[in-house]
Structure 1
Amino acid sequence: MVLTLQIILVIAAILMSVFVLLHKGKGGGLSSLFGGGVQSNLSGSTVVEKNLDRYTIVMVIVWLGCIVGLNLIQAFAG
C-alpha cells in the first residue's frame, strides 16, 4: 500500500510539473522574455487551456491525497 502511494505520488508530481510548465504565461514573467507575453495578450482562453487547468487541478488533488494518505499510514503504523 505504501509503495503504491509512493509511486502514484511521484507520477503525480511529474505530471503536475509538466502541466504547470505547459500553461501560457499571463503576466510579464519569464514567459514574456521568450515571446510568450505578446501571444497571450492576443489570444483568449481556449478549450485546450481550460482542459489543461482541469488536468492540473486533478493532479494536485491526487498529489495531496497521496501525501495525506502516506502521513496517515505513518501515523497509525507505529
Structure 2
Amino acid sequence: MNLFLQILLIVASLLLILLVLLHRGRGGGLSSLFGGGMQSSLSGSSVVEKNLDRITLFVAAIWIISIVGIGLLAKLGG
C-alpha cells in the first residue's frame, strides 16, 4: 500500500506541475516571459479554463490524499 501511495504521489506531483503551468497567467509574472502576456483570438475559451481548473483541483485532492495516507502509514506502521 505504501508503494502504491508513493507512486500515486509522484504521478500526481508531476501532473500538478504540468497543469499549473498550463494555466493562463493573470498578471505580468513569468508567464509573460514566454509569450503568456500576449492576447490572441486562439488563446482558448472560458470553458477550457473552467475544465482545467476542475482537473487541477481533482489532481490536487489526489495529491493531498496521498500525502495524508503516506503520513498515516508512517505513523501507524513504523
TM-score tier, shorter chain, comes to 0.7 to 0.9
Deviation at 1:45, TM superposition (A): 5.7
Question: Mind listing any 5+ residue stretches in structure 1 that lack a counterpart?
Answer: none
Give me the TM-score of the superposition, normalised by structure 1: 0.86
CA distance in 2, matches of 1:15, 1:44: 20
1:70 aligns with 2:60: no
Deviation at 1:44, TM superposition (A): 8.4
| 1:8 to 1:44, Cα distance in 2 relative to 1, 3 A | closer
Q: What count of residue pairs does the alignment treat as equivalent?
A: 76
Give me the TM-score of the superposition, normalised by structure 2: 0.86
Q: Which is further off, 11-20 or 27-36?
A: 27-36
1:23 match: 23
Q: Give % identity.
A: 58
CA offset digits 1:38-75 (Å, max 9, x no partner): 318xx786111110011111111100100100000010
CA distance in 2, matches of 1:74, 1:30: 38
Q: Which amino acid aligns with 1:25?
A: G
Q: Report the structure, 1 or 2, having the larger helix content.
A: 1
1:41-52 map, 5 Å = 46-52=46-52
Report the RMSD for the aligned CA atoms in angstroms.
1.8
Q: Which is further off, 31-40 or 14-23?
A: 31-40
1:39 match: 39
